[in-house]
Structure 1
């Protein structure tokens, strides 16, 4: 990640800013729910494995519940309790015909068709209007190259999608994953289920740390996978069931880390640390380079506001951790100088065009913002309260909730869309904010 260039700005406190961090400021421990990315991959791996897998502390949210419901539709046995889910695997893949509604979930909409392709039967997948807009084409083109019979029923490269499955032989395929790493993850997960294995050559890749999550989890479920630069080799052989603990969601933790950085407080998130799978934990490196104080231990991360009371400005490349781009954008007005976030074009094809959504909402708050195709620059300011246009995007809500700590009176046109990844976010964030200094 590019080290930001510090830009000098007006010194002193912004009006309404909290008192700079005190040496005796208390550390507040926040329990963050399980990772959405890890839970989705674990559900796929469990369904594909020989035996019964137990997931410990999986994320229960609209996205992951949708994924589990999709598995049920495909004929898998899924038992869900509060902190433990059990999935009975079918290494031969689903059999029979089924229709699956993927809701808003990108992992559901991209991973489950690939799982179905490994089985036998006719499968139809559809999704919400929001998910229908998001591209699927690079993945389905690769599946066609592997001999999978599929048909986009309306717009080419988008849901709804029908697959007439008869297993996948495997072979070599070339993939462009420049819009989403999920295309590559889906094919990697498929590899051990093919008859002859897969060799995937990637021409472009965004959010590379998510692929590392996939590789590590495949190995935990008994698969062999090798990477040589942009070539991934996955032999056939299937998966073995496991008892798999789901680590806390690093993207969700970013809102609490950012909150500490701009309020002069401290927060500790247990369960994430030096061995964490998720690349989005690198968001704390961004905060540290902008002046926050960060401690990463084996099993926890602590972030505190900067010693000088204000983050610095600078330029940050967030290509590999783009889900945390809105988090940084939402706190950027409180920095001492402009913050420029670059190489984040893929944020334009998420639940909404996040780059434009951040810019528009910051302008609503009276903040000076400039944007380009793949960058956004936010200048220091004193945001005024306004209603945030969420575009049904959970990350827009949670990011601007952090802004609200310094700008009381901010509201949201759809606060409930956080159910996608963190149904109890508002209660948990309010409880943290209400904790006495």
Structure 2
């Protein structure tokens, strides 16, 4: 597979319109969230690890490249099985974060364990993504960081081979990744970490649960019984085999196609139990008019062709917001999506971008500080800007199923998490039935 870490030129794309209900079985790549966490834990473990069916996309290749630059042996030649052998982390080295929040936030804490300086920078838009709370937290436990900007990239972590650790107070209301970043590295800190969140609720709680469960699986001692407090004991992590689940967020646009067209989409290879928020997705899809079921074939969504409006707090599943907003614009009643103020700091200000693009196609959208109210109207074709944001591209593709003439300014941005998206999507809409 071609290297995905280089920035690609924009690729305009005509979103295909469905003339019939879709009916397809897909086997999607692994979860980005699980792949990123497994890479970090493997890099600071005491023995080799393997990642089975990981996500190979720009974000995860950048993560692997950053760890390799710091001295870890990372082999990603085999798409189905990545191998990581940890070595003492070192500098000087440079980590290209691209536009990946996981890379810019998960790697600096372990860079403090490197012997020498590690510099971080990325795409121009990455310099606008918030890092201030993480930088302040790392400095409070003994990590030297040079950050010329106001809590953003570029920055240099001046690693000394050790991090003292200890008590940390942080406001992680801007991103759960601030908490996950510190927890993942904490077992290697001399005193571990006692991490306290102070502020509005931390978003994306399922991602925090995933972090805690994967730390325990690697042998870490972690106590999360007190709300907004995490205690990680210092200790050794064990290299192991990681079975990476299919990516639930990446599956959502395909599931949305079942709702819009009254069809069926099955995600093959789904495990009986999951670290991802399947129950929350089941609840949301049910409110929208769909049906989700899990059996030996996989995770299946069926739709009726009628999408209902939705009133939901999405703070725990904020990455689903763009596709849910697209569904809301096609619904038979108004929707209110709330609790997602923090997605203004994602790849783009997603609330402003969704307001602009949905309004441009004829929807009535009222933007609030923490969400959107969407009142469906007849939509028309037109250009849908993607803002170098894979989730915006997914939203535009969903709209195109029901609205002829929608063209995305760039579909290449989907390489961030699913390079195969345009081909999989087009095959599904034009009648392909099985893409395993």
- Equivalent-residue separation in structure 1 for 2:296 and 2:47 (angstroms): 31
Aligned to 2:290: 292
Q: Is the 8 Å Cα contact of residues 23 and 264 (structure 2) preserved in structure 1? A: yes
User: Could you tell me which of 124, 138, 145 is aligned with 1:143?
Assistant: 138
Matched, 1:230 2:228: yes
Aligned to 2:242: 244
Matched, 1:422 2:418: yes
Q: Is the 8 Å Cα contact of residues 365 and 374 (structure 2) preserved in structure 1? A: yes
Deviation track 1:381-426 (CA, whole Å, cap 9, x = no partner) reads 2211111111111110012101111112211111111111111100
Matched, 1:387 2:410: no
Aligned to 1:119: 114
Aligned to 1:159: 153
For residues 287-326 of structure 1, the aligned pairs below 5 Å read 287-297=285-295, 300-306=298-304, 309-326=305-322
SS, match of residue 89 in structure 2: coil
- Equivalent-residue separation in structure 1 for 2:347 and 2:310 (angstroms): 27
Q: 1:436 to 1:110 in 2, by over 3 A?
A: closer
Q: 1:273 to 1:325 in 2, by over 3 A?
A: farther
Q: 1:126 to 1:332 in 2, by over 3 A?
A: same
Q: Gaps spanning 5+ residues in structure 1: where?
A: 1-15, 20-24
SS, match of residue 275 in structure 1: coil
* Displacement of 1:280: 6.5
Matched, 1:193 2:193: no
Aligned to 1:12: none
Q: 1:281 to 1:392 in 2, by over 3 A?
A: farther
* Displacement of 1:68: 0.7
- Equivalent-residue separation in structure 2 for 1:281 and 1:418 (angstroms): 26
Aligned to 1:215: 212
* Displacement of 1:18: 7.0
SS, match of residue 171 in structure 2: strand
Deviation track 1:204-234 (CA, whole Å, cap 9, x = no partner) reads 4111110111111111211121102211110
Deviation track 1:172-222 (CA, whole Å, cap 9, x = no partner) reads 111111010000001101110011211111124111110111111111211
Deviation track 1:333-368 (CA, whole Å, cap 9, x = no partner) reads 221100110111011110001111111111111111
- Equivalent-residue separation in structure 1 for 2:295 and 2:314 (angstroms): 23
- Equivalent-residue separation in structure 1 for 2:55 and 2:291 (angstroms): 29
Aligned to 1:330: 326
- Equivalent-residue separation in structure 2 for 1:179 and 1:436 (angstroms): 40
SS, match of residue 371 in structure 1: strand
SS, match of residue 316 in structure 2: helix
* Displacement of 1:119: 2.5
User: Could you tell me which of 90, 110, 127 is aligned with 1:132?
Assistant: 127
- Equivalent-residue separation in structure 2 for 1:186 and 1:266 (angstroms): 37
User: Could you tell me which of 361, 371, 389 is aligned with 1:365?
Assistant: 361
* Displacement of 1:436: 6.7
User: Could you tell me which of 61, 73, 80 is aligned with 1:65?
Assistant: 61
Q: 1:385 to 1:49 in 2, by over 3 A?
A: same
Aligned to 1:10: none
- Equivalent-residue separation in structure 2 for 1:299 and 1:213 (angstroms): 24
Q: Is the 8 Å Cα contact of residues 149 and 163 (structure 1) preserved in structure 2? A: yes
Instruction: State the aligned residue count.
Output: 412
- Equivalent-residue separation in structure 1 for 2:374 and 2:22 (angstroms): 30
Deviation track 1:12-36 (CA, whole Å, cap 9, x = no partner) reads xxxx9978xxxxx885211111111
Aligned to 1:82: 79
- Equivalent-residue separation in structure 2 for 1:51 and 1:128 (angstroms): 33
Q: 1:124 to 1:416 in 2, by over 3 A?
A: same
- Equivalent-residue separation in structure 2 for 1:51 and 1:233 (angstroms): 24
